[in-house]
Amino acid sequence: MNPDLSRLQSYPFEKLAALTQGITPPRERDPIGLQIGEPKHPTPSLIAEALLAHLHRLSVYPTTRGLPELRTAIADWLRVRFQAADGAPLIVDPEQQILPVNGTREALFAIAQAVVDRTRPAPLVLMPNPCYQIYEGAAVLAGAEPQYLACHAANGFIPDFNRVDAATWERCQLLYICSPGNPTGAVLDQATLMRLIELAEQYDFVIASDECYGDLYQDDSAPPPGLLQAAAALGKTDFARCIMFHSLSKRSNAPGLRSGFVAGDATLIRNFLAYRTYHGCAMSLPVQYASLAAWRDEAHVRENRRLYREKFTAVSAILSDVLPIEIPAGGFFLWLATPIPDTDFARELYLQEHVTVLPGRFLSRAINGEDPGADRVRIALVAPLDECVDAAKRMRAFIERLGYQR
């Protein structure tokens, strides 16, 4: 067996199951689960209709590169979504710079396997802390060492990249970034993205930008910038060392479709395609046609943002005078500070109120005695509005019983 498998940590939800094992919550209260970032808004009918209309294509082997029509639809979406401040479109070549993938999770894992050069001494893969645990597992199984960049409130939950020394950048082969962030919802501004691209050029590493929450944001006049948009602003239209990841799971409430794409540096895409051809990751044709329909429609995405904003507003109004609360710039998570240790908070909230949230330390790593996830919980506002409101009221009652004063 691969010895690195033993280095993988338990997944956050395994830890949560162990934390609540043996606990019997009040049966008279309906369970409300806010621990998993699984969208619960209805999947748009246009996706289901396109899927059903092309089920006959299940008899055909799909290609790993995907349908030209799908790649063109993605390029068209990128052109509009990430246009420059002066209105200049983002031009991405659908033939050489775009590749459909079966959801961003598998692609974010696979990119490390394709990028990390094991022949170079002591390779590092840098990632935010806390973060999506796939980054860590990908680094470990690629034969690299994960290095964690703390995301503190004092820095807007953005890693302080200025504190990374030259020796670390020299060893870095891959940098994962996530904007809007999971779990914090923090957004990397374009200046930061441009600086990271300059560092990647200086030290020769790849940036993998996880932007799967990128269409969920609070301010319609300021959508989160993307990595390729920042590269274009620098005049780097070849997107050298840059690869971005987008998904329909959050944007279109279609997590079961398992559909997304990667885009960027043509050389990276070409080599990633070679890896994926052997990996056997071709997207089925019915899913490709359903994805094409989703990338061509923005009305359902605008409605999706409205629904999340409504929930953020309602939940914040209930909790704001018992907990410090800040609506994040993007995503659908609240990253709340807790008045007691996060694991105690999650366990007792489940025991007393039958509401499940995720302790922050299950998403972070303690480095030199410092854990940026400790004493925080991640709350996924994915349930219907009435359930989110009910959960917030229960949480408020629980906090008030603790005697906590903000």
- Residues 241, 209: contact at Cβ < 8 Å? no
Give me the pLDDT at residue 404, please: 62
- 30, 65: one domain: no
- 130, 190: one domain: yes
Dihedral-angle region of residue 375 (phi above 0 means left; psi in -120 to 50 means alpha; beta otherwise): left
Rounded CA-CA distance 171/155 in Å is 25
- 37, 85: one domain: no
- 133, 247: one domain: yes
Q: Does residue 3 fall inside a structural domain?
A: no
Measured at the alpha carbon of residue 39, what is the angle toward residues 33 and 45, in degrees to the nearest 5? 135
Q: Does residue 277 fall inside a structural domain?
A: yes
Mean pLDDT of the chain: 96
- 232, 357: one domain: no
Rounded CA-CA distance 180/184 in Å is 8
Q: Look at residues 296, 315, 346 and tell me which one is the last residue of a structural domain.
A: 296
Per-residue pLDDT of 311-362, as tens digits, reads: 999 999 999 999 999 999 999 999 999 999 999 999 999 999 999 999 999 9
Q: In angstroms, what is the C-alpha Rg of the chain? A: 21
Per-residue pLDDT of 149-190, as tens digits, reads: 999 999 999 999 999 999 999 999 999 999 999 999 999 999
Q: Does residue 5 fall inside a structural domain?
A: no
Per-residue pLDDT of 249-281, as tens digits, reads: 999 999 999 999 999 999 999 999 999 999 888
Confidence of residue 86 (pLDDT cuts 50, 70, 90): confident
pTM, rounded to two decimals: 0.96
Q: Look at residues 296, 313, 329 and tell me which one is the last residue of a structural domain.
A: 296
Confidence of residue 47 (pLDDT cuts 50, 70, 90): very high
- 78, 18: one domain: no
Confidence of residue 405 (pLDDT cuts 50, 70, 90): low
Per-residue pLDDT of 206-233, as tens digits, reads: 999 999 999 999 999 999 999 999 999 9
**Which secondary-structure segment (H or E) carries 98?**
strand 98-101
Rounded CA-CA distance 275/286 in Å is 23
- 239, 328: one domain: no
- 282, 319: one domain: no
- 73, 190: one domain: yes
Domain count within the chain:
2
Domain hosting residue 314, numbered range: 11-42+300-402
Per-residue pLDDT of 108-125, as tens digits, reads: 999 999 999 999 989 999
Q: Answer yes or no: is pLDDT of 234 > 80.
A: yes
Q: Does residue 258 fall inside a structural domain?
A: yes
Q: Look at residues 260, 280, 296 and tell me which one is the last residue of a structural domain.
A: 296
- CATH number of the domain to which 226 belongs: 3.40.640.10
Look at residue 328 and give its three-state secondary structure: coil
Q: Does residue 6 fall inside a structural domain?
A: no
